[in-house]
Structure 1
Amino acid sequence: MTPVRIEQVTNIADALAIRATVFIEGQGVPENEEVDGRDPDCLHWLVTDAQGPVATLRVLPKSEHMAKVQRVAVLERARGTGLGAMLMQHVMAELADMGFTHATLGAQLSALGFYERLGFRAHGPTYDDAGIEHRDMDMSL
């Protein structure tokens, strides 16, 4: 795998473009649900490889100790390469360094195994979010 750069960013244009490709175009999420107005309240990370921006996620601080991971998106060309896990592990370490002790997320059912391998544990019922079945998951940092 080519070297990648993972960085926290404040200019989120590339992150929004990746999210539009993955969620709006790829999964049919309505634009008004994907672009929900919460981006200014979130921390954003971007992954860039030799071909350019390739993955992103955002984190919404829920409290002094709880961070909600959202909008985890990897372009199709990099899926299955380990890049998504690398991004998640990097961000979980940064969140711990920032003083967060717990992370939570709403996982698409198809991604439950991915998050479980990273240490998240599912709880509660399945629910619909933007027409896609999800379950809540938590992890101690």
Structure 2
Amino acid sequence: MKTVTRRAGLLMIAGAAAASTLSAPTGAVDVSADPAFAAIAKHRQASADHLASIYAYDWAERGTDAYYDAQDHNEVCCHAARDAAWELAATIPTTLAGVAAVLQYANEVEDEGDEWPDTDTIGADGWHYQLRQAMAAAAANLAA
């Protein structure tokens, strides 16, 4: 008997959920209907921008205008990535495919060694708590 890993299980759920939201004419998932996909895309882009700003800052010659500009840009990108992460945690998916996508994406980010904001915070102020609340709200809405 084959053991199903957590990731494989999520992929199976995501696939089943995506299949249930297929549009008949095109066979494509309508991701525009679920805000979770936009929140994932926003965080993915903000994280990529932040990483690029880190490289630019690291490569700039210390003490130059370019260095200080890169430092300022890095700080802006860092805040944008953090804000996008919080927005993702607070976004309530409207489809089962959205719930699965958010949970899978959160695992992918952590598997890559990245961290979510305030991961040391326990309770209602923590990022993971907010994410669980949003997913619970989505599940309740979808069950209704």
**TM-score scaled by structure 1?**
0.30
Normalized per residue, which structure has more helix? 2
Normalized per residue, which structure has more strand? 1
Structure index of larger Rg: 2
**TM-score scaled by structure 2?**
0.29
Higher relative contact order (CA 8 A, sep 6+): 2
